């Protein structure tokens, strides 16, 4: 505890609105006696198709239970065993039960526990509904940032010697996503434009079970609790895609069939769709998530939100009918390039959570690792920032810093006052989303990605001519959406350019023209570096392999 530190918590929304609240299933951490750190390590590394940095994974799994216990001590209402200990549930790709949960609102409770606990600390000063527009950099150090105060429209400069970004993902680049409206890659774009590479951006996770109309997530815990996925013939088709043999209905077996990893399940959907085995609905082809055998009591106790969502948004009650679902964009494995200390290549800048890429998730994140990740690396980022501050920051050239802030402000003013540009935010956004959906989805091809790269380059050029409709100051969401679109376009281009360069298939990145994993060339992280004009430059860095050489991902259970 360092009460003398001055901490500004700056967010574009009130903190309890942050999208962590939508996470349902839970947070992974080894706690039960039949589990081990080794199991969690191997599940995570294999789940990530060996693109995870193994030293980071080791650090992550060791810290995981401590952070989850810390949350318990802060009051998080974890679900419990009859004896009062914390309960855990099965999750996809995990060999043991190790997912801590609070019914099916785990992220909500984690977020509110953190937010409410933060109210205890007078050294944390909040700036709610401030949109950060630019990092201010001088002499290779991050010296703060500029932000728009939404209620006044004023631009404020925050002079800070250390900055931690924890701004989440960018799912809104796609039209069909579980991500809330606020997930527009703002933090990723901030770091990217300040010269920090975006790492492994081509790895975009589809969650297999979204409601087909709204994209609302139905948690993987549906399957953890025993739900099954069937095609239009009633067949549990996952057995045909390397995740069999079939397990008894309602008795889920860990790490196989419906508890396979998300990338494999979503890819199986794609193949079944091509074969015409899916159920056509007015919102596109669906598979059916059948929970009926769990019974009303268990569904209400363990999956109340799922029942509520399916019933209200789709008109299907999972107690009486199977729910049509389809894969939906859910999570960015890639993000701001950070090291095991949550530090970026820019001195004084740190990042944690979905916006960052350490990487522990590699080419495919396992469900319930991300809530834990934001806790573990959130703390690590804070510790690193404090160490950096304690080390004595170099004296910055305050004139240059102020000039940087002024330049950021001038860019905004130019956007604000621009007229006659003719491009609209909604128009460009629609084109971006359509391109991402068509070419950067579950399966990709070189040809499609080339087209996507060229479309996005064009959209970025046209973005320079967008014109605001709303030129007033108070709570100007037209301006906000313009800035969010700029961030998404930059992130989207990093995704497609990185994906085009990775001529192999690994985890969530599947190429129709390069169907095999290629460890010789691509057992490496991609690094997209921002260039003002033109697409990012793509480089690579080594994956840290300590004790698990690349192997075969096996989701056939223990039954071979």
300 binds another protein (CB under 8 A): no
521 binds another protein (CB under 8 A): no
Rounded Cα–Cα distance for residues 386 and 295 (Å): 51
CA 345 remoteness from chain centre: 21
CB burial readout 470-487, b (16+ within 10 A) else e: eeeeeebeebbbbbbbbb
Task: Let me know if 80 is a catalytic residue.
Answer: no
- Residues 226-245 interacting with another protein (rule: CB under 8 A): none
* 19/307 with CB nearer another protein: 19
Q: Is 251 left (phi over 0), alpha (psi -120 to 50) or beta?
A: beta
392 binds another protein (CB under 8 A): no
Q: Would you give the binding string for another protein spanning residues 97-126, x where CB under 8 A is met?
A: --------x--xx--x---xx-xx------
Pick the piece of the chain touching another protein (CB under 8 A) from 71-79, 362-370, 410-418, 552-560. 71-79
- Residues 10-39 interacting with another protein (rule: CB under 8 A): 13-14, 16-19, 21-22
- Residues 153-192 interacting with another protein (rule: CB under 8 A): 180-182
Burial class (CB in 10 A: 0-12, 13-18, 19+), 350: buried
Task: Let me know if 223 is a catalytic residue.
Answer: yes
* 312/419 with CB nearer another protein: 312
473 binds another protein (CB under 8 A): yes
Residue 184, φ and ψ in degrees, nearest 5:
-120, 20
Contacts with 360 (C-beta within 8 Å, 6 or more apart), sequence order: 44, 48, 52, 53, 56, 57, 60, 369, 373
| Catalytic, out of 223, 460, 509, 511 | 223
Pick the piece of the chain touching another protein (CB under 8 A) from 158-166, 185-193, 301-309, 332-340. 301-309
- DSSP type of residue 177: B
| Catalytic, out of 172, 207, 264, 517 | 207
- The full DSSP string for 243-299 is T-S---TT---TTBGGGS-HHHHHHHHHHHHHTT-SEEETTEEEEEEE-GGGHHHHH
* 186/263 with CB nearer another protein: 186
- Exactly one of 42, 77, 195, 347 binds another protein (CB under 8 A); which one? 77
314 binds another protein (CB under 8 A): yes
* 116/515 with CB nearer another protein: 116
Least spacing, CB of residue 317 vs another protein, in Å = 15
Tokens found for residue 7: 């901490």
- Exactly one of 159, 275, 461, 469 binds another protein (CB under 8 A); which one? 469
548 binds another protein (CB under 8 A): no
- Exactly one of 66, 413, 461, 503 binds another protein (CB under 8 A); which one? 66
Q: How far is CA 278 from CA 58, 202, 216, 247, 329, in A?
A: 40, 27, 19, 21, 19
Tokens found for residue 205: 């996770």
Q: Which residue has the tokens 């739900």?
A: 227
Contacts with 277 (C-beta within 8 Å, 6 or more apart), sequence order: 231, 232, 233, 235, 237
- Exactly one of 72, 300, 438, 519 binds another protein (CB under 8 A); which one? 72
Least spacing, CB of residue 461 vs another protein, in Å = 22
326 binds another protein (CB under 8 A): no
195 binds another protein (CB under 8 A): no
83 binds another protein (CB under 8 A): yes
Rounded Cα–Cα distance for residues 148 and 164 (Å): 18
Q: What is the dihedral of CA 20, 24, 25, 28, to 10 degrees?
A: 20
Residue 287, φ and ψ in degrees, nearest 5:
-100, 170
Pick the piece of the chain touching another protein (CB under 8 A) from 74-82, 353-361, 431-439, 450-458. 74-82
In this structure, are residues 198 and 496 in contact, taking their beta carbons and an 8 Å threshold? no
413 binds another protein (CB under 8 A): no
Residue 162, φ and ψ in degrees, nearest 5:
-140, 140
Catalytic residues: 207, 223
**Which residues here bind another protein, judged by CB under 8 A?**
13-14, 16-19, 21-22, 66, 69-70, 72-75, 77-86, 105, 108-109, 112, 116-117, 119-120, 128, 151, 180-182, 213-214, 216-217, 305, 308-309, 312-315, 424-426, 469-470, 472-478, 481
């Amino acid at each position: 505890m360092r009460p003398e530190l001055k901490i500004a918590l700056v967010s574009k929304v009130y903190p309890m609105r942050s999208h962590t609240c939508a996470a349902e299933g839970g947070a992974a951490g080894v706690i039960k006696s039949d589990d081990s750190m080794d199991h969690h390590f191997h599940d995570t590394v294999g789940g990530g198709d060996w693109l995870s940095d193994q030293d980071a994974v080791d650090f992550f799994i060791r810290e995981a239970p401590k952070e989850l216990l810390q949350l318990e001590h802060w009051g998080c209402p974890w679900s419990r065993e009859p004896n009062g200990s914390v309960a855990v549930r099965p999750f996809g790709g995990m060999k043991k039960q190790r997912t801590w949960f609070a019914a099916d609102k785990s992220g909500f409770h984690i977020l509110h526990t953190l937010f409410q606990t933060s109210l205890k600390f007078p050294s944390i000063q909040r700036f709610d509904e401030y949109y950060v527009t630019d990092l201010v950099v001088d002499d290779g150090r991050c010296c703060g940032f500029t932000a728009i105060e939404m209620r006044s429209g004023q631009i404020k400069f925050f002079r800070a010697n250390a900055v931690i970004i924890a701004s989440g993902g960018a799912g809104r680049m796609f039209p069909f996503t579980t991500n809330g409206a606020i997930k527009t890659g703002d933090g990723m774009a901030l770091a990217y434009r300040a010269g920090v590479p975006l790492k492994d951006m081509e790895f975009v996770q589809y969650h297999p079970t979204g409601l087909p109309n709204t994209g609302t997530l139905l948690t993987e815990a549906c399957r953890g609790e025993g739900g099954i996925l069937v095609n239009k013939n009633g067949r549990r088709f996952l057995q045909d895609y390397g995740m069999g043999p079939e397990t008894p209905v309602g008795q889920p077996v860990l790490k196989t069939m419906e508890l396979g990893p998300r990338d494999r399940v979503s890819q199986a959907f794609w193949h079944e769709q091509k074969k015409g085995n899916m159920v056509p609905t007015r919102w596109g082809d669906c598979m059916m998530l059948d929970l009926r055998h769990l019974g009303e009591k268990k569904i209400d106790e363990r999956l109340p939100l799922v029942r509520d969502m399916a019933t209200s948004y789709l008109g299907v009650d999972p107690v009486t009918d199977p729910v049509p679902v389809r894969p939906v964009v859910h999570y960015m494995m890639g993000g701001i390039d950070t090291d095991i200390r949550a530090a970026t290549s820019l001195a004084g800048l740190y990042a944690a959570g979905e916006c960052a890429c350490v990487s522990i998730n590699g080419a495919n994140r396992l469900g319930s690792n991300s809530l834990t990740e934001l806790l573990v690396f959130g703390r690590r980022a804070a510790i690193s920032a404090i160490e950096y501050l304690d080390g004595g920051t170099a004296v910055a050239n305050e004139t240059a810093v102020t000039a940087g802030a002024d330049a950021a402000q001038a860019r905004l003013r130019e956007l604000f006052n621009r007229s006659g540009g003719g491009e609209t935010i909604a128009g460009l956004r629609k084109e971006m989303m359509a391109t991402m959906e068509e070419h950067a989805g579950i399966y990709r091809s070189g040809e499609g990605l080339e087209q996507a790269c060229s479309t996005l380059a064009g959209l970025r050029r046209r973005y320079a001519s967008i014109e605001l409709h709303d030129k007033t100051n108070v709570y100007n969401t037209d301006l906000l959406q313009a800035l969010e679109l700029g961030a998404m376009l930059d992130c989207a281009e990093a995704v497609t350019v990185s994906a085009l360069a990775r001529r192999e298939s690994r985890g969530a990145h599947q190429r129709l023209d390069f169907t095999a994993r290629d460890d010789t060339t691509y057992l490496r992280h991609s690094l997209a570096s921002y260039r003002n004009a033109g697409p990012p430059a793509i480089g690579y860095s080594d994956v840290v392999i300590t004790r698990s050489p690349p192997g075969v991902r096996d989701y056939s259970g223990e039954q071979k």
